Amino acid sequence: MAASTPESTPENSDYYVKSAEKTLSVLLAFTGDRPALTVTQVAEATDLTRAAARRFLLTLTDLGYLTTDGALFRQTPRVLDIGASYLAGLSLPQAAHSHLTALAQELDETATLTVLDGQDVLYISRVAAPRLHSVTLNVGNRLPAWVTSMGRVLIAALPDAAREEFLKQLVPQGFTSYTISNIDDLRAELQTVRKQGWCLVEQELDEGMRGVAVPITRDGDVIAALNVSIQPGRAKREVLTDRVIPLLHTTAQRIAEDFGGRQRTAARAGS
């Protein structure tokens, strides 16, 4: 029988630098739930000896990636430099795609990401419901913003003067018998959307379809809207308010974080 040979792994490769692995493991020991750690806690989390963990922590402190009060260590905003180049090249659709896919699978509905472009909403990312074999609206398509849930979320987020200018240019029309086509009624609806942080449009653009949308916010600015379209018969209104809207808010937050929202917040908090 031939003698067995060690399984090829990165750890036994001639290029592998074990200290690099340990350095990253120390940095990754810090999480949102555990932002401050002692030497002992880091040693336990990284499977290092206490003495080794202390050396890594003090070195990272000297390099400016950690700070310490003598007992507890914390990350500094300088750790953001590690991912800065990646984030700089990451587009919003790229950051959103995996989250749109998860949302579409969770709800079995089509999930869409849009931005405001003039009087329209522009589709910049879209993941169809798993049960659908085709979709009629794709990336690059446009719809009148004022009559869609995502459009109203985006219009509602505009500064007062810009919102009024938008309404001034609007020529509303009745797409269905449910369409809000009066400017004063639409203005009131936008105020409600702005206050509650989400929008539900029921059969105003297309009979037999309702849209639910929430804003995606980064640094206090609304940068896009997240939407799912649901046929009235597939979900009661209380399902929308109790399950769908909270899930949309959670997904929107994750998209914003992956697009740099979490890092920017952390940087401000550490400055």
pLDDT band at 6 (very low <50, low <70, confident <90, very high): very low
Task: Determine the pLDDT at residue 1.
Answer: 42
Fold match flag (10-75 vs 88-266): no
Residue with tokens 């400017």: 183
> Does 13 have pLDDT greater than 90?
no
pLDDT digits (tens, 9 = 90+) for 240-271: 778 899 999 999 999 998 887 554 444 444 44
Distance CA 60, CA 49 (A): 17
Phi-psi domain of 67 (left: phi exceeds 0; alpha: psi -120 through 50; beta: other)? beta
- Helix extents (H) in 113-241: 149-156, 160-169, 183-196, 237-239
> Average per-residue pLDDT in the chain?
85
Classify domain 88-266 by CATH architecture.
2-Layer Sandwich (3.30)
- The domain limits of the chain are 10-75, 88-266
Q: Residues 66-119: pLDDT tens digits?
A: 999 999 999 988 887 776 665 555 588 888 999 999 999 999 888 999 999 889
pLDDT value for 140: 78
Total-model pTM:
0.65
Indicate the CATH number for domain 10-75.
Answer: 1.10.10.10
Alpha helices (H) along 139-220 = 149-156, 160-169, 183-196
Residue 257: closest CA among 21, 69, 27, 90: 90
Higher pLDDT, 45 or 11: 45
Neighbours of 254 (CB within 10 A): 19
Query: Range with the lowest mean pLDDT among 30-44, 166-180, 187-201, 249-263?
Result: 249-263
What pLDDT was estimated at residue 88?
A: 58
Q: How far apart are CA 186 and CA 42, in angstroms?
A: 55
Q: Does residue 2 surpass a pLDDT of 50?
A: no
